[in-house]
A and B are shown apart, each in its own frame.
Chain A
Amino acid sequence: MSRMAVLAFCLAVPALVWGIAQGGLPPYLLHILALACTYAIPAIGLNIMLGYAGLVCLGHAAFVGLGAYTLGILAVDHGWSFWGALPLAAVVAGVAGGALGAVTLRLRTHFFMIATLAFGLVLHAVMNNWEELTRGPVGLPGIPRPEGFTLLGLDFAFRRLPDFAAFAVGATAVAFAISALLIRSDFGRMLVAIRQDETLAAAKGVNVTAGKVLAFAIGAAIAGAGGAVKAAFLRVSAPASFEYLEGINLVLIVIIGGAGRLSGPLLGALLFVALPEYLRVAAEWRLVFFGVALVMLMRFAPEGLAGILARVFRRRAAAA
C-alpha cells in the first residue's frame, strides 16, 4: 500500500463519518447504509478465508450470530456496555472459528464445505431452541445502541440513526483497515500461497494447518464484531438473522464483489443491500437476482466487481 493511499484513507474516513453524522441524508438512505455495513463487516472476515486462504465457508452466518448473541446476552441480561461486549463478541466468534477450523480442515473441497454448512445449521438450531439463553425463535430484544462518550473534548453519540450509520461506516472502515494490513503482510502472502498450492507452500516452509486455522479464527472474529454491530443496529438478536441462507448470502457478496480483493466485500455488500431496494424487488427475488448475477459473473468476469473496476481504471490510466 502506498503512503498516499494510507494518508487518503486516514483523511477520507473521518470526513465521511463526520459528514454522515451531521445528518442531511434521508433516514431511508441511512438505514440502507447501516444495513450494508452489517453485511460488509462479516464479508470482510469471510474474504480473508474464502478470497485469500481459499476456504469456502458456508456457515459464516453462525459466527455473525455468535457475536450478536454475545452482545445481546451480555448487554440485556448482564448490563454490559456495548464497548465492553464488542471485543468479547469478536473473541467468542474467533475461538469458535479456530475450533471449527481445527476439526474440519483435514477435510477437502466439498466435504469441507458441507462440514461448515452443518456447523451453521447446528448453531442456528441452538439459537432457536436454547430458550433459557437465547429466548428461542422470538430472539433477544432490547439490545441497546452503543453508549455515547467524550474523547478529546468531542462528544460521540450513537442513539440517533445518522450517528449510528456514521458509527457503522467507521466500524466497517476499521475492519477494512485491519484486513488490508493483514493481507499486505507476510501473513497474507502465506495465505495466498496456501490458496495457490498447498503442497508447494508446505515445501517452502509454510505451516499450512496453522495458516488455515488462523485465517478461520481471524475471519470469524471479524464476523463476530460485525454481528455485534448488526445486533446493536437491529436492537434485537434473533435466529432468523443467522440462518444458513444468510451464510450463503455472505458467500455471494464476497464472490460478486470480488473474492481476494480488499474492496470486494464492500462493493458486494453495497450491491446486495442497495440494489434490490433500488429496484423495488421484493426480498424473495433478491436471491434469484443474485443467482443470475453470480452465473453471469462467473462466466464473464470471475474476478468480481472489484476486478472489473480495477480493469477499467487500468485501461483509463493506460489511455491517459
Chain B
Amino acid sequence: MLLEARDLTKNFGGVRALDGAGFAIAEAGIVGLIGPNGAGKTTLFDMIAGRQFPDAGRVTLDGRDVTGLPPERRAALGLARTFQECRVFPEWTLRENLLFAARPRSFASALLRAFTRQEALPGGAAARAEELLRLATLDAYADAPASILSFGQRRMLEIASALMTRPRWLLLDEPAAGINPGLLDALGRFLRRAHADQGGLFLIVEHNMEFIMGLAGRIIVMHQGAVLADGPPEAVQSDEAVIEAYLG
C-alpha cells in the first residue's frame, strides 16, 4: 500500500476533529481530498505530513508505520509537501530555493565537508532546477530573491521546490487557493506534466471543485472527521451523501 491512513482520531479540547478517518491508496496517481470547512482535511493532511500526531490510529507509507515520525524523517523517506499559507525561503534566490531541496541533510557529514570544501550537490540537481524553473515559467527570476515574487509565483516556486527530489509522495495543501483564476490552467498543466514525468502519489487538499475535479483521478470526500465518499470524480459528484454534506 503506497499510503494508508487507518482509524485516525484527534480531539482538540472537546472538539473531535477526526473521528476514525481512514483511506488506502495502492497506486500512483493524483488524488483529491475535499470536504466542507471543518471536515478535518487539514488535520488529516498534517498527520500524513508529520506536523500533527493522532490520538489514535496509524499512518503507513509503503507499509511502514510512520505515525510518530517527525516531518524531517518523513522527508528522508521521500515525502514532500506544500503549505496552505505557501512557504518558500524568502531571502534566497529561486535557484537557491530549488537547489537547497536537493542538498544532503546530515549535519555530521555537513560539518565534515565544511572543512574539506567538497561539493555535495547531487549530479543533475542543477539541470533539474533549471528544468523546473522553466516548467513553472519562473526562469526569468532565477536569480532574484523569492521575496519579490507575487503570491501565485511563490506558489509555483513552492511546488517546484517540492518536486526537486522527485518525491514518492507529494502532499499539496490547497495549491489553487489565492491563485489568479487565469493562472489556474497553467497550474493544472504544470501539475499534470510533473506527475506524468515523475509518477508517485500527488495528494491534493482543495476547495476549488472545478480545479480538482479536472485534475484528480480519484476523490476522497471528508465530512465531520470521517471519510464520506471515495471514488472517481463523476461518481463522487453524483453521490447523494456528498451533495447533502455540501448543501446541508
Determine the chain B residues whose CB is within 8 A of the CB of A129 once the complex forms.
Answer: none
A189 contact from B70, B88, B103, Cβ within 8 A: B103
Please report the total number of B residues contacting A with Cβ < 8 Å: 30
In the assembled complex, which residues on chain A have CB atoms less than 8 Å from the CB atom of B76? 205
- Asked if B148 is an interface residue, CB under 8 A from chain A, the answer is no
Which of A96-104, A145-153, A190-198, A224-232 lies at the interface with chain B?
A190-198
A211 at the B interface (CB under 8 A): yes
B91 touches A192 (CB 8 A): yes
Q: Does residue A214 face the partner (Cβ distance < 8 Å to B)?
A: yes
Docked Cα-Cα span, A246 to B81, in Å, equals 43
**4 additional A-B residue pairs with CB within 8 Å, beyond A185-B114, A187-B107:** A200-B87, A203-B51, A206-B72, A206-B105
Interface residues of B in 97-119 (CB under 8 A from A): 100-101, 103-105, 107, 110-111, 113-115, 117
Q: Is A22 an interface residue (CB 8 A)?
A: no
Contacts of A200 in B (CB 8 A): 83, 87-89
Which B residues from 51 to 104 make CB contacts under 8 A with A?
Answer: 51, 70-72, 75-76, 80-81, 83, 87-92, 100-101, 103-104
Smallest CB gap from B118: residue in A? A185
Q: Are A202 and B72 in contact (CB under 8 A)?
A: yes
Verify B90–A203 contact, CB threshold 8 A. no
Q: Are A181 and B117 in contact (CB under 8 A)?
A: yes
Contact: B115 with A181, CB < 8 Å? yes
Given contacts A189-B100, A200-B89, is CB(A205)–CB(B105) below 8 Å?
yes
> Does A186 count as interface, using CB distance less than 8 angstroms?
yes
Complex alpha-carbon distance, A244 and B230, angstroms: 61
Residues 199-251 (chain A) with a chain B CB within 8 angstroms: 199-200, 202-208, 210-211, 214
Return 23 A-B CB contacts under 8 Å, by A number: A181-B117, A182-B111, A187-B107, A187-B111, A187-B114, A190-B110, A192-B91, A196-B90, A197-B89, A200-B83, A200-B87, A202-B70, A203-B80, A203-B81, A204-B101, A204-B105, A204-B161, A205-B75, A205-B105, A207-B70, A210-B107, A211-B107, A214-B111
Q: In whole angstroms, what is the CA distance A190 to B92 when docked?
A: 12
Provide the bound-state CA to CA distance between A210 and B87, in Å. Answer: 22
List residues of chain A with CB within 8 A of the CB of B90.
196-197
The smallest beta-carbon distance between A258 and chain B, in angstroms, is 14
Within the complex, the shortest CB–CB distance from B28 to chain A, in Å, comes to: 21
Contacts of A182 on B, CB cut-off 8 Å? 111, 114
How far in angstroms is the closest Cβ of chain B from A152?
23
Write out the residue numbers on chain B whose beta carbons fall within 8 Å of the beta carbon of A190: 105, 107, 110
Interface residues of B (CB under 8 A from A): 49, 51, 70-72, 75-76, 80-81, 83, 87-92, 100-101, 103-105, 107, 110-111, 113-115, 117, 120, 161
Residue of A nearest to B117 (CB): A181
Name the residue on A nearest B76 (C-beta).
A205
Shortest beta-carbon distance, B12 to chain A, in Å? Answer: 19
Which residues of chain B come closer than 8 Å to A181, judged between CB atoms?
114-115, 117
**CB atoms of A196 and B72 under 8 A apart:** no
Contact partners of B105 in chain A: CB under 8 A: 190, 204-207
Do residues B72 and A199 form an inter-chain contact, with CB atoms below 8 A?
Answer: no
Chain B residue nearest to A214 (CB atoms) is B107
Evaluate contact between A203 and B71: CB separation under 8 angstroms. Answer: yes
Decide if B113 touches A186 in the complex (CB within 8 Å). yes
Q: Max chain B CB contacts within 10 Å: which of A182, A200, A211?
A: A200
Task: List, in ascending order, chain A residues with CB within 8 A of B120's CB.
Answer: 186
CA distance A196 to B97 in the complex (A): 12
Contact A203–B49 (Cβ < 8 Å): yes
Give bound CA distance, A188 to B100, whole Å: 12
Is the beta-carbon distance between B91 and A205 smaller than 8 angstroms? no
- Give the complex CA separation of A279 and B234 in angstroms: 80
**B87 contacts A207, CB within 8 Å?**
no
> Is B100 a contact of A193 with CB atoms below 8 Å?
yes
Residues of A with C-beta under 8 A to B161:
204
Which residue of A184, A189, A207, A214 contacts B72 across the interface (Cβ within 8 Å)?
A207
Given A181-B115, A203-B49, residue A197 in contact with residue B87 (CB < 8 A) = yes
CA distance A206 to B17 in the complex (A): 29
Task: Give the nearest-CB partner of A260 in chain B.
Answer: B91
Q: How far is the CA of A208 from the CA of B71 in the complex (A)?
A: 10
- What chain B residues lie within 8 Å of A192 (beta carbons)? 89, 91-92
Give Cα A196–Cα B145 distance, bound, in whole angstroms: 13
Closest 9 A-B residue pairs measured CB to CB?
Answer: A205-B75, A185-B114, A186-B110, A187-B110, A200-B87, A202-B71, A205-B105, A196-B89, A205-B72
Chain A's closest residue to B164 (CB) is: A204
For residue B115, which residues in chain A have a CB less than 8 angstroms away from its CB? 181
**Which single residue of chain A is at the shortest CB-CB distance from B114?**
A185
* Complex alpha-carbon distance, A208 and B101, angstroms: 15
Instruction: Decide: A203 and B75 in contact? CB cutoff 8 A.
Output: yes
Q: Which of B72, B114, B117 contacts A208 (CB 8 A)?
A: B72
CB distance from B66 to the nearest CB of A (A): 14
In-complex Cβ contact of A207 among B107, B111, B114 (8 A): B107
